[in-house]
Amino acid sequence: MCSMQGRVPQWLIIPAVLLLWLVISHPPQPEQPSPPYPHAEIIDRAADEFGVEAELVAAVIENESAFNKQRVSAEGAVGLMQVLPSTAEEAAAEMNMDEYTPERLFEPEMNIRLGTWYLSNLMKEFTGDTVAALAAYNAGPARVESWQNLPRWKEKEGIDRIPLMETRSYVMLVLTEYDRLKVAAAGR
């Protein structure tokens, strides 16, 4: 009787040689770099125009609509950045956009430009405080201004100071995605 210890069975040799030949003769091709999110060119243009980081805009879109341009919320917010028609109208008037109509909020270019303008204005209104600006994007600037008058807001730093759980969760999710996208961008 013959012992198989230390020997490779003959029936494995041919498949192993074929696999080795395939790996050597067909090395994996490096993947072409691709944007880490949809509508990257539009997002980059709007971010540059309004002085907001593209990764922050993309993180807002991911959390607002998961990049679904047809999304409409129960409150009537529309498109990728979930812009309310009243906010879009205000933004379009500020930017002298005669071509704006509420139906165009479903178009990525229009929606991202108006939503980024709004996010940029919130960043300015809250003097660069990203947490407050994101909270205002979710809950409205008047509500965040009232929260800032609470002792709790002044006593704590960071996201814990947001009194509304929904908004606190929203800000945490956006900031987590924002950090992930910044790391991905740094690796490109």
Q: Which ranges constitute the DSSP H helices of 29-164? A: 40-50, 54-65, 85-94, 108-125, 130-139, 141-148, 151-155
**Choice among 49, 64, 125, 155 that is catalytic:** 64
The CA–CA distances, whole Å, from 49 to 42, 137, 168 equal 11, 19, 28
CA distance 124 to 118: 10
64 as an active site residue: the answer is: yes
Looking at residue 60, its amino acid is: V
Residues whose CB falls within 8 Å of the CB of residue 170, separated by 6 or more in sequence, listed in order: 63, 134, 135, 138
Number of Cβ within 10 Å of residue 27's Cβ equals 8
b/e map of 28-52 (b: 16 or more CB within 10 Å)? eeeeeeeeebbbeebbeebbeebeb
CA atoms of 47 and 181, how far apart (whole Å): 14
Active-site positions read 64
